[in-house]
A and B are shown apart, each in its own frame.
Chain A
Amino acid sequence: MAAETQNARTQVAAPALTPPASMMGMPRHHLLIFLGLLALGLIGPFVLYPVFLMKVMCFALFACAFNLLLGYGGLLSFGHAAYFGSASYVSAYAAKAWGLTPELAILLGTATAAVLGLVFGALAIRRQGIYFAMVTLAFAQMVYFFSVQAPFTGGEDGIQSVPRGHLFGLIDLGPDRSLYFLVLAVTFFGLLLIYRIIHSPFGQVLKAIRDNEPRSISLGYRTNQYKLAVFVLSATLAGLAGATKALVFQLASLTDVYWTMSGEVVLMTLLGGMGTVFGPIVGAAVVVTMQNYLATFGAWVTIIQGVIFVVSVLLFREGIIGVLGRWLKKPL
């Protein structure tokens, strides 16, 4: 097992050290996957229902942001709903009450998540393992409590009928298709950014810290700074996903900040493959699809979800993409 990960890591590391084989220093199969995803994204709305696809993309970005922290930073946060949800509230409020244009609303929401991530992260990274998870959960519950109580969040009803507005004050985002391409652009920007972070020297140090923190310290890295940085990045990108989601559904509600949302993103990441670039996307797609298309089965959705989770943990612990990557002998 250890030898395998060792092996996988050198393979990941290799392209970064050798001169870029192709665009942006991506190995060819990654480039192909990205192009494939982009192609899927472009034809998607003409085949499937756009709102559903937008939901998948928002959650894919959220799961990838979470995976940046868990899969590459080795930090299990159990409170990522706080960043996702608070960004969604702020962006919804900004768009509705202040009439900001969608791009400003999304940016403002994302910035809120970044600030929250900085404050909570600075305190949480002082602890490790289960204590870290508990501290993040506690902070997330504080955000939840705040969302229930604060007058501007609308309590249990949430912020409803958020206008989608006009992008840059020009392009009407009312029709699903036009909003779809904005969401596609945002998601792709987020994914490429995460990819870049993972494969940068910063990402290499992160992986070193994940695998052996004392050794990284002995090599002279200030690990806490790296951990804080990745925490803030992850929170910010989770916020980007949340802020976008608020515009897609035209609402921000307690669901987004509740702890089950934090749990759901863990499920997506583990199901797709923790520590893989594309795993969380697949995980998010699987979970959202189940929630969407199995909604008719009522109570069975949660049971089916649970069974799938148990099966995936028992049979393919590296997640769908993790196992696939092992078969193909290429890190995905």
Chain B
Amino acid sequence: MTRIRNFTLAAVAATLLSGTALAETAVKIGVLNDRSGVYADLSGEGSVVAAQMAVEDFKAAEKGITVEIVSADHQNKPDVASTIARQWYDQDGVDVIVDVPTSSAALAVNDITREKNKVFINSGAGTADLTGPQCSPNTVHWTYDTWALAHGTGSAMVEAGHKKWFFLTADYAFGQALERDTTAVVEAAGGEVVGTVRHPFPGSDFSSFLLQAQSSGADVIGLANAGGDTINSIKQASEFGITQGGQAIAGLLVFLTDIHALGLETAQGLVLTESFYWDLNDGTREWSKRFAERHDGDMPTMVQAGVYAGVLHYLKAVEATGGKDATAVLAKMKEMPTDDPLFGKGTIREDGRKVHDMYLFRVKTPDQSQGPWDYYEQVATIPADQAFRPLNEGNCPLVK
């Protein structure tokens, strides 16, 4: 009953206010991510800080937009994510959900957001299906996806002369897809795959697989796995001295906080693709410094940067449309070019894919590193038009 009354009041209020340009808009942002598990470092509380910073930097209050931020832990479980998302949309009046790492959770939120006609700005999840077969008019996929990572790392490595690849693949759908995509890239760029080994998921002992990879004569060992598996395989590869032996290791899904956890001694020489690094330019350095001051000195990951930029762009669209109607705001978000100090200028395509440059990094050796969080050396820039899957190849039903 109260809900109906609230709804009527809101509807009346909306009609009264919609005419005025300086209408007071109240926006509620839900940061839904992993706050206790393996992705808590790369998203977690840092993403909430990033969202708060976006609201402050946008000076929302001065522009007549009051913003409230709520957050929750989805424990990397799609069912928990879907319960929270439903409750947020149905009961708590959340207008936009941001972040959501873990592909399965992101796909669940993607469906619910479309059903409830709200806005979903994903930064944390990797699955390229979000802008492929599962694409939704209500979803913007901001930071990266597996296609971009596989493509960036694959083609850039081959161009740099590492032609022979060996894959260490997690034996389930995600790992196999990552291996398949990267293989296609490597072969298209003129490289070859000399072998592949599948490890059980989740795995803990990679020694026999790594020895196989070491003796394969490959230039690069591609890690087509994620999370704990990647960390463990990098650790064990370092114990076998694989990078010191001249072979390169390419992590296909590795984040800055993973490198921080592993330490440079273990992770040195690893090659990876990311869309953001705190030490890229003056804009990223200035923002990251402010971020670190508020987040126990930890530098932001690309996922947290994506949350900042996504929220900022959303608020711009709210300001421009003078309301928070999801359809109008989404149309505006896709129409306006994006511009922020972290990702530079970019666009959002009709399939929801945010397009910007990606970068290939190599992890520094302990000697090269100048101080805390000085981890990456930039190897190459992958320009925006090549960084992401072409619009017509994603099988997104919205693209005709």
Contacts and interface: CB of A to CB of B under 8 A. Distances in A.
Contact of B78 (A51, A251, A298): A251
B73 A156 contact: no
B83 A292 contact: yes
A157 B171 contact: no
B220 to A, nearest CB: 25
Interface stretch (A12-20, A61-69, A147-155, A316-324): A147-155
B36 A51 contact: no
Interface residues of B, number: 35
Nearest to A151: B173
Contact of A156 (B86, B91, B103, B134): B103
A300 B44 CA distance: 13
A296 interface: yes
Nearest to B77: A255
Contacts of A160: 78, 104, 107-108, 111, 134
B315 to A, nearest CB: 23
A49 interface: yes
Interface in A151-198: 151, 154-158, 160-161, 176
B189 interface: no
A259 B129 CA distance: 28
Contacts of B70: 296
A291 interface: yes
Contacts of B74: 295
B56 interface: no
A157 B111 contact: no
Contact of B36 (A49, A249, A298): A298
Contacts, number: 94
Interface string A269-308: 0000000000000000000000110011111111000000
Contacts of A299: 35-36, 40, 73
B45 interface: yes
A253 B84 contact: no
A301 B36 contact: yes
Contacts of A80: none
B117 to A, nearest CB: 14
Contacts of B86: 51
A163 B174 CA distance: 24
B186 to A, nearest CB: 23
B284 interface: no
B73 A148 contact: no
B78 A255 contact: yes
A286 B107 CA distance: 28
Contact of A158 (B44, B91, B104): B104
Interface residues of A, number: 33
A49 B80 CA distance: 15
A148 B201 contact: yes
B82 interface: yes
Interface hub of B75, B91, B134 (most chain A Cβ within 10 A):
B75
A295 B72 contact: yes
Contacts of A296: 70-73
B83 to A, nearest CB: 6
B77 A253 contact: yes
Contacts of A291: 80
A52 interface: yes
B340 interface: no
B159 interface: no
A259 to B, nearest CB: 12
Contact of A155 (B44, B82, B172): B172
Contacts of B127: 157
Contact of B173 (A154, A245, A302): A154
A149 B171 contact: yes
Which of B71, B74, B77, B134 counts the most A-chain CB atoms under 10 A from its CB?
B77
Contacts of B108: 160, 249, 251
B339 interface: no
Nearest to A302: B36
B260 to A, nearest CB: 18
Given A49-B91, A148-B201, A298-B40, A155 B173 contact: yes
A299 B107 CA distance: 23
Interface of B: 35-36, 40, 44-45, 70-75, 77-80, 82-84, 86-87, 90-91, 103-104, 107-108, 111, 127, 129, 134, 171-174, 201
Interface of A: 49, 51-52, 55, 148-149, 151, 154-158, 160-161, 176, 245, 249-251, 253-256, 291-292, 295-302
Closest 4 CB pairs of A and B: A155-B173, A298-B35, A299-B36, A295-B72
Given A51-B83, A292-B84, A295-B80, 20 more contacts: A51-B87, A51-B90, A155-B173, A156-B172, A157-B104, A157-B173, A160-B108, A160-B111, A161-B111, A251-B78, A251-B108, A253-B77, A254-B104, A255-B77, A295-B73, A295-B74, A296-B70, A298-B71, A299-B36, A299-B73
